[in-house]
Amino acid sequence: MAKLVECVPNFSEGRNKEVIDAIADAIRGTEGCSLLDVDPGSSTNRTVYTFVGSPASVIEGALSAALVAFKLIDMGKHSGEHPRTGAMDVCPFIPVQNVTMEECVQCAEEFGQRLAEMLNVPVYLYGEAARKESRRSLPSVRAGEYEALPEKLAKTEWAPEFGPATFVPSWGATVTGARMFLIAYNVNLLSTKEQAHRIALDIREQGRGKNQPGLLKKVQGMGWYLEESNLAQVSTNILDFELTPVHTVFEEVCRDAKELNLPVVGSQIVGLIPLKAMLDCAEFYIQRENLFVVEEEHKIRLVISKLGLDSLGPFDPKERIVEYMVQANQGEDRLVSLSLQKFVQSVGARTAAPGGGSVSAAIAAMGAALGCMVGQMTYGKRQFESVDAEMRKLIPPLHRAMNDLLLKVDADSSAFNSYMVHKHTKTHSRGEATQTSSGRSFRDVLTGRSYTGISGRSFRDVFNGEELHGHPMGGASGMSNGEEAALKLPKGTAEEIKRREEAMQQGLKSAVSVPLSLAERVDTLWPVLKEMVKYGNVACKSDIQVAAKALETAVYGAYYNVIINLKDITDSSFRAETEEKVSSLLKNARENTNVTLETAEQRK
């Protein structure tokens, strides 16, 4: 699953549409960034931008936006209701998918350092990235605001983490850091404002004061009356939805409201919410009520119903769930978004990708899907009621694997696209892109060119430079961050060549991990498939047989892609260990396929 980081920079301009649009265009124009929301405020004279992408992409997007703001915003002329310290006032990095908080801290640190070097401005760290406890809170760092900066920067204790301790009148200072995704969540009550606030005081972490803390960690709250809807709300900010999930807030408000004989009439998500927060909520109700729900779409519907998220207006998952918005922006570029006809034609075309890696993943996904289908054709039917309990156990892992394996279809091509861009972008030691004779960087020249991978050839083959009119003739699965970094290393001196070769070796090891992970994922399905063939609808016997052979074929594909890249790795112990592992997975696939087919033949 791809890494996804959210970045929410706040710029001190909310009235000049040209400036607001120029900053938005800078973010949109950054490769790998999806701009999800632009929220300007006239009275605050401030605009909040929300965009997502890979860790590297969001750093570039934030820097591009800052550069535009530096040219267009003059803090010496700024006024507005919202507290602020600079033109780019605050820029948090937030984990969304497959990213740790530590990685977001690294994003903030890299962004802060590069911003300070690029613009020669002071930059502070806050939140999880803070290096001093006194700077963990944003209001603490922002105390005194822009107007206090000349005096503040003169004090040793307020020296910035990056950049000069010098007042830059046109810019001010920027605060960057890392925090969890903040979910603005309100629960609706048919009550007074005071009753809603009473519940808020009970549940929020701050409670009623130092001596009366509230029940829920990382939750802020207050009660208010929503005039336009003629009801009260317990309004909360959930600062860490993994520590205190959305359903916990809802259930606690319901419990308190019941004690006060107050009716709860739904709830409201304000802004965006991560998919994981919704699915965690679904799992809570599935477990509590012993429900059987496997489709992601159904889980989202369940949450909307249980929490009453559509009580004050439609809740459209495609417009409210972060990952769905990203998919909508990038969907046309994904292999799995193609029709079957287009995908097959793409495989058969005279192009570098998709190749054996993508095809192996697609076959594996089909195998898991067939196994899942057999379960679905068994569960809930009267004649198979006796095996409903077994189906409830067997269907979910096959359904999860189907979706996991679909993600691997694009892994080969998307990884190698990035690899080839960096392969053709020579960099200096500080990472600047070398300029072409026309004054444009190679990054500019390569934007939009599809450099895609093909399984069945090794990375070393590609390194040897087999190209046709600038396009790679081949590739392999699994380009990693290490390979990207290796390709950026200078190649001049003997020491530089040695370091680059060492990095390339590490990159090749990472490359092997992509097809190996495919074989390992398939390996988890054999126990499930062997049970499904025993209890599944006998009329679907041929489907389970095809499923077994499809999964076996996928492991064959993974095996060959691992082997072809191992030959270029000089670490003999790694080579031997990996070959033994993938050979064992292939042997296991053969044996389990035979067992599954034999069991199927015995069923009449």
| 147-196 pLDDT, tens digit each | 999 999 999 999 999 999 999 999 999 999 999 999 989 999 999 999 99
pLDDT classification of 463: cutoffs 50, 70, 90: very low
pTM for the model:
0.72
Domain-located, residue 265: yes
Q: What share of the chain in percent tops pLDDT 90?
A: 66
Which tokens is 291 given?
């429900």
Under 8 Å between Cβ of 215 and 202: yes
Q: 546 burial class (0-12, 13-18, 19+ CB within 10 angstroms)?
A: middle
Question: Do 166 and 191 belong together in one domain?
Answer: no
Domain-located, residue 534: yes
Domain-located, residue 39: yes
Domain-located, residue 569: yes
pLDDT classification of 448: cutoffs 50, 70, 90: very low
Q: Quote the distance between the C-alpha of residue 226 and its chain's center.
A: 34
Q: How many domains does the chain have?
A: 3
Choice among 51-60, 118-127, 355-364, 509-518 with the minimum mean pLDDT: 509-518
- What's residue 411's pLDDT? 74
Q: Per-residue pLDDT for 466 more than 80?
A: no
Domain-located, residue 187: yes
Q: List the CATH number of the domain containing 361.
A: 1.20.120.680
Question: Do 194 and 166 belong together in one domain?
Answer: no
Q: Per-residue pLDDT for 217 more than 50?
A: yes
Question: Do 152 and 217 belong together in one domain?
Answer: no
pLDDT in tens, 22-37: 999 999 999 999 999 8
Domain boundary among 250, 277, 304: 277
Residue with tokens 């058969």: 348
pLDDT classification of 449: cutoffs 50, 70, 90: very low
Q: Per-residue pLDDT for 425 more than 80?
A: no
Domain-located, residue 502: no
Question: Do 63 and 171 belong together in one domain?
Answer: yes
Domain-located, residue 299: no
354: cis peptide before it, omega within 30°?
yes
Q: Which helix (H) or strand (E) holds 181?
A: none
Which tokens is 261 given?
């004989």
Domain-located, residue 389: yes
Question: Do 58 and 133 belong together in one domain?
Answer: yes
- What's residue 321's pLDDT? 93
What does each C-alpha distance from 118 to 229, 247, 433, 574 come to in angstroms? 48, 44, 15, 42
Question: Do 61 and 142 belong together in one domain?
Answer: yes
Q: List the CATH number of the domain containing 208.
A: 3.30.70.670
- What's residue 492's pLDDT? 64
Long-range contacts of range 14-21, CB-CB < 8 Å, 24 or more positions apart?
14/40, 14/41, 14/42, 14/43, 14/44, 14/45, 14/46, 14/47, 14/80, 15/40, 15/42, 15/45, 16/72, 19/69, 19/72, 19/73, 20/47
Question: Do 270 and 396 belong together in one domain?
Answer: no
Q: List the CATH number of the domain containing 148.
A: 3.30.990.10
Which tokens is 469 given?
């009119």
Which tokens is 356 given?
């054996």
- What's residue 556's pLDDT? 97
Instruction: Give the domain range for residue 545.
Output: 353-411+514-601
H-only helix segments in 356-446? 356-376, 388-409, 411-423, 442-446
Q: Quote the distance between the C-alpha of residue 194 and its chain's center.
A: 40
Which tokens is 173 given?
């200072």
pLDDT in tens, 343-355: 888 888 887 678 8
Cα–Cα distance, 458 to 479 (Å, whole number): 11
Q: What is the mean pLDDT of residues 284-299?
A: 96
- What's residue 201's pLDDT? 96
Question: Do 142 and 209 belong together in one domain?
Answer: no
Q: What is the mean pLDDT of residues 277-283?
A: 97
Under 8 Å between Cβ of 266 and 313: no
More confident: 457 or 525: 525
pLDDT in tens, 106-156: 999 999 999 999 999 999 999 999 999 989 988 889 889 999 999 999 999
Question: Do 249 and 162 belong together in one domain?
Answer: no
pLDDT in tens, 57-95: 999 999 999 999 999 999 999 988 788 999 999 999 999
Cα–Cα distance, 210 to 219 (Å, whole number): 15
Question: Do 16 and 123 belong together in one domain?
Answer: yes
More confident: 95 or 500: 95
Q: What is the mean pLDDT of residues 366-374?
A: 97
Choice among 322-326, 443-447, 459-463, 464-468 with the minimum mean pLDDT: 443-447
Domain boundary among 242, 277, 312: 277
Which tokens is 252 given?
């606690």
Question: Do 266 and 401 belong together in one domain?
Answer: no
Question: Catalytic residue positions?
Answer: 82, 412
Under 8 Å between Cβ of 89 and 177: no
Q: Per-residue pLDDT for 482 more than 60?
A: no
**Among 45, 94, 84, 86, which residue's Cα sits nearest to residue 66?**
86
pLDDT in tens, 485-494: 455 455 567 8
Domain boundary among 239, 258, 277: 277
Question: Do 518 and 577 belong together in one domain?
Answer: yes
- What's residue 487's pLDDT? 52
